[in-house]
């Protein structure tokens, strides 16, 4: 995690308090569809998509579809990529989800074996060298995030990104009594998967909901 100064930590606390109090401090709207993100993280996603040009972006946790629509909009601008966005509540929220030719919304748990298989099948259909970007933003509790990491990390090619959202909870610096969550899952995952490393450059805007969560798959040794 990039060193954060007091002002940044104060901002993260204040924005989180505002979010929890319903003041919408980071309830953004992208083309009219809500997403729960810092603007700085959306800009970082844009940078990564432009640099890596993934053929497929897998997002767990669609919520109202605003983040999937943002990702698809960037794909539109560069002319490549599709988005699969998964949520246990996608069927009941179908009426508010955006319709976009690059997005497929799937309903179900991100860790259900048939869901994992469907995503892997789609990735495989794009060819063995297809770049896949993975964004984990569903149930943030430790065991679920760990299960997602194990289910989807294998899709990411060398140089590609596996992003674990919301590592700011459990006292980093927010929601101190959340319990083990994304940051703890990453701490468990990384020693077992040395092919991944935290990319601090993705936190250079300092304000991120994903401290320590931008994981890059190392390049294969030459």
Ligand X SMILES: C[S@@+](CC[C@H](N)C(=O)[O-])C[C@H]1O[C@@H](n2cnc3c(N)ncnc32)[C@H](O)[C@@H]1O
Site membership for ligand X, residue 86 (CB under 6 A): yes
Choice from 37, 122, 157, 217 touching ligand X (CB under 6 A): 37
Rg (CA), the chain: 16
Per CB under 6 A, the list member of 12, 16, 35, 186 interacting with ligand X is 35
88 touching ligand X, by CB under 6 A: yes
Show contacts with ligand X in window 137-176 (CB under 6 A): 137-139, 144
Q: Which residue has the tokens 């770049």?
A: 131
Task: Choose the binding region for ligand X from 2-10, 62-70, 94-102, 124-132 (rule: CB under 6 A).
Answer: 62-70
CB of 178 to ligand X, least distance (A): 13
Per rule CB under 6 A, is residue 41 in the interface with ligand X? no
Q: Which of 15, 110, 170, 210 binds ligand X (CB under 6 A)?
A: 110
Among 217, 154, 212, 150, smallest CA distance to 184 is for: 212
Q: How many residues bind ligand X (CB under 6 A)?
A: 18
109 binds ligand X (CB under 6 A): yes
**What is the binding site for ligand X (CB under 6 A)?**
35-37, 60-61, 63, 66-67, 86-89, 109-110, 137-139, 144
């Amino acid at each position: 995690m990039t060193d954060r100064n007091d002002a940044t930590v104060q901002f993260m606390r204040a924005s989180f308090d505002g979010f929890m109090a319903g003041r919408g401090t980071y309830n953004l709207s992208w083309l009219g569809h809500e997403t729960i993100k810092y603007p700085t993280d959306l800009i970082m996603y844009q940078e990564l998509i432009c640099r890596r040009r993934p053929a497929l972006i897998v997002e767990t946790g669609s919520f109202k579809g605003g983040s999937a629509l943002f990702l698809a909009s960037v794909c539109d601008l560069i002319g490549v990529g599709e988005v699969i966005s998964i949520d246990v509540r996608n069927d009941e929220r179908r009426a508010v989800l955006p319709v976009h030719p690059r997005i497929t919304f799937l309903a179900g748990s991100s860790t259900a074996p048939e869901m994992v298989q469907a995503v892997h099948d789609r990735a495989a259909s794009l060819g063995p060298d297809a770049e896949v970007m993975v964004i984990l933003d569903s149930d943030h509790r430790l065991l679920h995030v760990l299960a997602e990491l194990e289910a989807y990390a294998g899709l990411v090619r060398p140089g590609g990104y596996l992003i674990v959202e919301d590592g700011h909870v459990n006292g980093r610096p927010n929601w101190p009594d959340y319990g083990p969550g994304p940051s703890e899952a990453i701490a468990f995952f990384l020693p077992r998967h040395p092919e991944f490393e935290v990319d601090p450059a993705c936190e250079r805007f300092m304000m991120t909901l994903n401290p320590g969560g931008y994981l890059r798959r190392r390049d294969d040794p030459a």
